[in-house]
Amino acid sequence: MRRNALFCGSLSLSLLLAACGDDTTGRQDEVGTVDDSDATTGDSGTDSDGTSSDDATSSDSNSTDGTGTTTTDSGTDTDGELSCDVPARSDPSGTAEWLDGANMASVSIADRDACLRSYSLSTTGPLRDGYPGNPRSIDEQASRPRLRSGHDLFDALYALAMAEVEQLSVAMITDYAFNLGGAVPCGVEGCFETGRLWHYVWTRDTAYATNLGLADLDPARARNSLNFKLSTRRDGSDLQIVQDTGSGGSYPVSSDRVTWAYGARATLAALDGQARADFSARAFEALHNTTQHDRKVVYDPGDGLYRGEQSFLDWREQSYPNWTAEDVVHIAQSKSLSTNLAHLNALDLLVELAGEQGEAAVAAEAAAWAGDLRAAIHDRLWLADIGQFSSHVTTGLDQSPTRRMDLLGSAQAILQDVATPAEAMQILSGQPHYGPGAPVLWPQQQQTPIYHNRGEWPFVTAYWLRAAKHANNDAVAAKMMRALIRGAAVNLSNMENFEAATGAPWLDEGATSGPVVNSQRQLWSVAGYLSMVHHTLFG
C-alpha cells in the first residue's frame, strides 16, 4: 500500500517553549531594540464549539531526535488503514492557549489520539473584517502533511496553514483587472491564488511563496503558477518574466520581476524526471532573455547596479517621499538593495541552468555579471558606520545611499552571503525589533497610513528568521518564530500584515489608520509559517 509522505514532527515541547516564549533575557544585545512584552504561552485550553469549517490537510509520517519527547518512525499503511504515532511524552497540559496581552487564542481537539484530528481554534482578539468564523474548525486530511509535536496549539496552527494552502489551491484564477473579470485557466494541476482578497497570480507573491515552502508541498502547482508569469511576444518569441504592477504602471519603474528566480530555484529542487527537465529548459530560456533585456534597459554600468523600485515595497509614498505619488521618475532612477539581490539570484540560477543546458558561453557571461554585481551591491550599499545595508540609492544627482533599512533586502543580503558573517551579526542585532516582530522598513514615514510603512509582514518575518538561522542568532530567531505563531493564533488565519508596534490587524488612528489592506490566508504568509516549521525547526 502507498506510504504517505510524512511530516509528523519531532519537536520537543521544551524546545518549542524556549523558541516561542518571551524569555530573551541576556540576549537583547543580539536582537537590537527588543520589547518582549507581547505574547507567551498560557495554561491548558478550554473547549469551544466549531462553527466555521475549512478544508485542511495532513499526512502520516514521523521522525525522532533521540530526546524521548518526539514522534517515532511509523506511518505505514499495511491494511489500507492510516497509521500514526504520537510523541513519547504527550501530556498536553499548558499547550492549548496563547496569551497576547488582554487577548487569548486557544484550541480544543475532539480526539487527540486520532490520526486525523479535528481542531477548534478560537480567539478573544478582534478579527479583521469579522473573518473567519470564531471559533474556526479545522479538519486534518490524509492527503497533506500533519504535525505531532506534543503541543496542541502548535499542531493546530500547522493544520491551519495546511487548510489555507488548500483554500489557495485553485483550478482557475479571476481578477476584476484581467480578462474582464472572467476565469483564466492556469494549468492542468491548477495554481496558487494570492489571498482571500487577492485572486490573481502575481510574480513576486508567487516567487517568494514557492521559495518559502509551497514548491515542496505541491511542485506541479508551483510550476504552473510560475509558468503563468512567463510570456512571449505576440509572435511567440522572446519568452520573458512578466513584471508585476507597481509604481509608474510597471516596468521599468518596477524591475523586480527577476524575483521569479527565487521560486524557480525551489521548484526545480522539488521536481524530478521529465517534469524537472522541461521546467529547467523553460526557466533557462526565460531567465536568459530576461537578464539580457534588463541589462540593456535597467542596468547602469556606471556603478554596476540595476535601477528600479524596491521589491515588494511598491506603493510609492509608503517607502519613498510623498511627492513620488505623482512623479515616479526618481523611483525609476533609484537602485534598491532588494531588487539588486533578486537580480543577483537570477544570474546565479542562470549560471546553473546554462550548465545543465550545455550553454557554456551563457554560463560564463552570467557568472561574470553575478560576480560584478555582488561586489557592486556591497560597495554601493553597505553603511559601515552603522553596520547596515542601505535600502537604496536615489538618483545620479545624489550618489549617497539612503540611511534607511529594508528588512527583506537585509535578509536576502545575509542569505546570499553578500554580507560577511560578521556583518550579518551586525545587521541582525542592529535592526529595530519593537512590537511582536520587526517592521519591514525603518525609519517609518511620518503621517503616512499603515501598510508597508509601520508594517510587520509575516513573509518578511520568515525570511528574517531564515537569516537569523543562517547567521546563528538564536535570539532573533526565537522572536521571529514567536511573531509568526502569534499572528496566526490570535487572528485564526495567516494574515497579510500587521501594525508593527501593536501587532494589530487594524489600528484606528484617523488619517493614518491601517493596515489599509489586510487579507486573510495571504499566500506568502501561509508559506512563511510553513517555512518556520519545515525550514527552521526541522531543517
Residue with cell 538593495: 337
Let me know whether 364 and 229 are in one domain.
yes
Residues 182, 221, single domain; the answer is yes
The answer to whether residue 20 sits within a structural domain is: yes
Residue 507 has what pLDDT?
Answer: 98
* One domain for residues 83 and 199: no
Show the cell assigned to 1: 500500500
Residues 180 and 158 in one domain: no
- The H or E element that residue 120 is part of is strand 118-123
Q: Rounded to an integer, what distance in angstroms lies between the CA atom of residue 258 and that of residue 294?
A: 9
User: What is the pLDDT at residue 29?
Assistant: 36
Q: Which pLDDT does position 411 carry in this prediction? A: 99
Looking at the structure, tell me whether residues 53 and 82 fall in a common domain. Answer: yes
Last residue of a domain, one of 400, 427, 460: 400
Residue 142 to residue 517: CA distance in whole angstroms: 34
| Same domain, yes or no: 244 and 342 | yes
Final residue in a domain of this structure, among 400, 420, 441: 400
pLDDT (0 to 100) of residue 327: 85
Residue 37 to residue 47: CA distance in whole angstroms = 27
Residue 310, domain CATH: 1.50.10.10
For strands 52-55 and 136-139, give the pairing: parallel
Query: 194 and 56, same structural domain?
Result: no
Give which of 114, 148, 123 is closest to 48, Cα–Cα. Answer: 123
| Of 366, 400, 434, the domain-final residue | 400
Nearest 5°: CA angle at 520, between 322 and 146? 135
What is residue 90's predicted lDDT score, i.e. its pLDDT?
Answer: 64
Do 143 and 472 meet the contact criterion of CB atoms below 8 Å apart? Answer: no
**pLDDT, one tens digit for every residue, the chain (539 residues):** 333 333 333 343 333 333 333 333 333 334 443 333 333 333 333 333 333 333 333 333 333 333 333 333 334 444 556 677 777 766 788 999 999 999 999 999 999 889 999 999 999 999 999 999 999 999 999 999 999 999 999 999 999 999 999 999 999 998 888 889 899 999 999 999 999 999 999 999 999 999 999 999 999 999 999 999 999 999 999 999 999 877 766 899 999 999 999 999 999 999 999 999 999 999 999 999 999 999 999 999 999 999 999 998 977 778 777 888 888 888 889 999 999 999 999 999 999 999 999 999 999 999 999 999 999 999 999 999 999 999 999 987 888 999 999 999 999 999 999 999 999 999 999 999 999 999 999 999 889 999 999 999 999 999 999 999 999 999 999 999 999 999 999 999 999 999 999 999 999 999 999 999 999 999 999 999 999 999 999 98
| Three-state DSSP class for residue 394 | strand
pLDDT, position 237: 97
Task: Tell me if residue 173 falls in helix, strand or coil.
Answer: strand
Predicted pLDDT at 357 = 98
- Regarding whether 337 and 216 lie in a shared domain, the answer is yes
Do the domain assignments include residue 435? no
Residues 221 and 283 in one domain: yes
Give dist(CA 334, CA 318) in Å, integer. 16
DSSP lists the bridge partners of residue 498 as 456
Model pLDDT, residue 79: 53
In a domain, 95, yes or no: yes
Query: What does DSSP assign to residue 325?
Result: G
The residues with which 199 forms a beta bridge, in sequence order, are: none
Asked if residues 228 and 191 have their Cβ atoms less than 8 Å apart, the reply is yes
Examine residue 489 and state whether it is found in any structural domain, yes or no: no
What is the Cα–Cα distance from 437 to 532, expressed in whole angstroms? 14
* Confidence at residue 9, expressed as pLDDT on a 0 to 100 scale: 37
Q: Residue 526: its pLDDT value, please?
A: 99
Give yes or no: residues 271 and 380 share one domain. Answer: yes
At CA 482, angle to CA 476 and CA 483, rounded to 5? 90
Q: What is the C-alpha to C-alpha distance for residues 25 and 71, in angstroms, rounded to an integer?
A: 31
* Residue 180 lies inside a defined structural domain of this protein: yes
Is residue 431 in a domain?
Answer: no
C-alpha span between 268 and 215 (Å, rounded): 8
Q: Whole domain around residue 206: which residue ranges?
A: 174-400
Q: Is position 520 within any domain?
A: no
31 found inside a domain: no
Cβ–Cβ < 8 Å for 38, 22 = yes
136 and 197 fall within a common domain: no
User: Are 251 and 292 in a shared domain?
Assistant: yes
Q: Which of 243, 240, 312 is nearest to 283 (CA)?
A: 240
Domains identified in the chain, total number: 2
Q: Tell me how far apart the alpha carbons of residues 308 and 42 are, in angstroms, rounded to a whole number.
A: 46
Find, among 505, 406, 469, 525, the residue nearest to 129 by Cα: 505
Here the cell at position 190 is 491548477
User: Which candidate, 180, 174, 172, 336, places its Cα nearest to that of 246?
Assistant: 336
Residues 64 and 261: their CA atoms lie apart, in Å, by 34
For 354, the grid coordinates are 546554462
pTM: 0.87
